[in-house]
Amino acid sequence: MLLSLAATPGPLPAAVATRLAEGRDPASLLRPHSPEPGAVAARLDALGLRFLIPGDDGWPLSATPPDPPCAWLFVAGPAPPEAAASVAVVGGRRASPLRRAAARSIGAGLARAGWCVVSGGAVGVDAAAHGGALDAGGATVVVLGCGMDVPYPRANTGLFARVRASGGTLTSEHPPGGQPRAANFLPRNRLIAALSAAVVVVEAAEDSGSLSTARAAGSRGVGHVLVLPGAPWDPGADGCNQLIRDGATLVHSLTDILEELGATVGGDSTSANPAWSGLDPPARAVLTALIDGQLLTPGRLAAATDLPQATLDAALLDLELAGLIRRTAAGVQAVSLPPSRVANATPPAPPPSTEPRGPPEANLCAEVLECGGSGGDDDGDD
C-alpha cells in the first residue's frame, strides 16, 4: 500500500508522511489514479532501485528522524549509512571556483578520514563535494529532489553514473518520473541534514537552500553546523556569516572540521593562516589578496599586495602555471587551492550515541579557505 502511495502523483512526500505520522490510514490517502503496486515494483526492478520504509533493514533515519518525517526512500546502491558515519557538505550552484575547490578538498579529506560525504547533487559546491569523495575512493550519498530516472541537473548525469559505478548511493523521496519542481528542494534539504552528523556550509547566499539544510541540522539539537566564513562585501557569503552570527562554528580548514567531529589532529595545519609551503612571499601575498574568490583588476591587485609591478607579474605567472589562478580580460581570480602541510589525525574515543563521530585517518587534504568566494543567488535547490 505504501509503495502505491509513494508512486501516486500529488502532494509532496513530506506532506503525506506527516499525515501518516498523525495516524491516517494509508488506504485513505490513495487516489483513483494510484498505480498498482506490482507495476511500481516492476518499474523499480527495471531501474535497479529499492523501496525502503521505516523498520526495514538499512533504514538510515531511525536515530535521526527528520522534521517533517520521512515515510519512505527510493534508493539506488547501498542503503545510506546512519548519520553517525556521515558529514554533509553544501553550498551554492554559482559558487566561485575557489569555493568549489574548497568543497572538493573537504569532500576528499572527509572521505580519507573515513566519513561518508552527503550532499544534494546540484552543480557547484554539491558536485565538487561528491567528486572529491569519489576522487579519494570514499563513499558518498546524493539526495535528489526528483525521481532517480530524471536527469536533473543534466550537467551532473555523468557524476551520478560515477556515483553508482563506484558503489555510492543515490536516494530520493520521489518515485521514478518525479519532476524537479522548486517545491521539492527545501524538503530535500531536511533529509541531507538528517543523514549527517554535521553540516559543513562552504558557501551560502542570504536565504539560500544551504541555510535551510544548516538550520534543519541545528533544529534537531544534535549534529554540528560548521561554516566557512566569507568577506563582508561578498553576497555569496552572506548566509555563511549569518549562520556564524547565529552560533554556528566557524572553521578555516579540514583540520578544524575534524577536530569539531572529535578527531585528535596533529601537525601544524591547525593554523588559521594557510601555510602554503612551496610558495614564495610574493605569491603568498597575491593568493591572500585573491582568497575571497573574487576577480581583481591588476591595478587593485597591485594596491592590495603593495608589490612592485615586475614582482607582481612574476608571481602571477608562477601562480598561473601552477593552475592556482586564472587571468582574463576582466581581471585575476584564484581558482584552486595550493597544498599545505599535511596533518595527522588519530581516531577519537568511541562516541556516545548523542554525539556521533567517525574514524579519521592520516593523509588529510589541504587547508581550505580563510574568507569567502563569489557565488551568488541561491534559489532553494542547493
Q: Please give the residue that has the higher pLDDT: either 369 or 288.
A: 288
CA distance 82 to 197: 9
Q: How far is CA 354 from CA 117, 297, 350, in A?
A: 20, 50, 12
Strand ranges inside the chain, DSSP E: 50-52, 73-76, 86-90, 116-119, 140-143, 169-172, 198-201, 224-227, 249-250, 264-266, 325-328, 331-334, 344-346
Helices (H) and strands (E) in the chain, counts: 14, 13
Q: Chain-centre distance of CA 130, in angstroms? A: 7
Helix 209-219 to helix 185-194 angle, to the nearest 10 degrees? Answer: 40
CB distance 165 to 137 below 8 Å: no
Q: Please give the residue that has the higher pLDDT: either 216 or 130.
A: 130
| Residue 356 CB coordination number (10 Å) | 22
Residue whose C-alpha is closest to residue 17's, from 187, 145, 177, 142: 187
State the average pLDDT over residues 164-179. Answer: 97
Give the CA angle between residues 129, 135, 141 to the nearest 5°: 50
State the average pLDDT over residues 116-141. Answer: 97
* Entry pTM: 0.79
Output the nine-digit C-alpha cell for 353: 550515541
Q: For residue 280, what pLDDT is reported?
A: 87
Output the nine-digit C-alpha cell for 209: 537552500
CA distance 86 to 80: 9
Kindly write down the DSSP assignment for every residue of 196-261, as one continuous string: -SEEEES---TT-HHHHHHHHHHHTT-SEEEE----TT-GGGHHHHHHHHTTPEE--SHHHHHHHT
**Mean pLDDT score of the chain:** 84
State the average pLDDT over residues 184-196. Answer: 95
Q: For residue 379, what pLDDT is reported?
A: 43
- What's the 3-state SS for 305-336? HCCCHHHHHHHHHHHHHCCCEEEECCEEEECC
Q: For residue 308, what pLDDT is reported?
A: 93
Read off the pLDDT band of 278 (50, 70, 90): low
Task: Indicate the Cα dihedral angle 311, 317, 322, 323, nearest 10°.
Answer: 120
State the average pLDDT over residues 342-356. Answer: 41
Residue whose C-alpha is closest to residue 325's, from 308, 337, 314: 337
| Residue 253 CB coordination number (10 Å) | 28
Residues with Cβ within 8 Å of 162's Cβ and at least 6 positions away in sequence, in order, are 134
Question: What are the pLDDT digits (tens) for 8-60?
Answer: 988 899 999 999 999 999 999 999 999 999 999 999 999 999 999 999 999 99
Output the nine-digit C-alpha cell for 359: 574514524
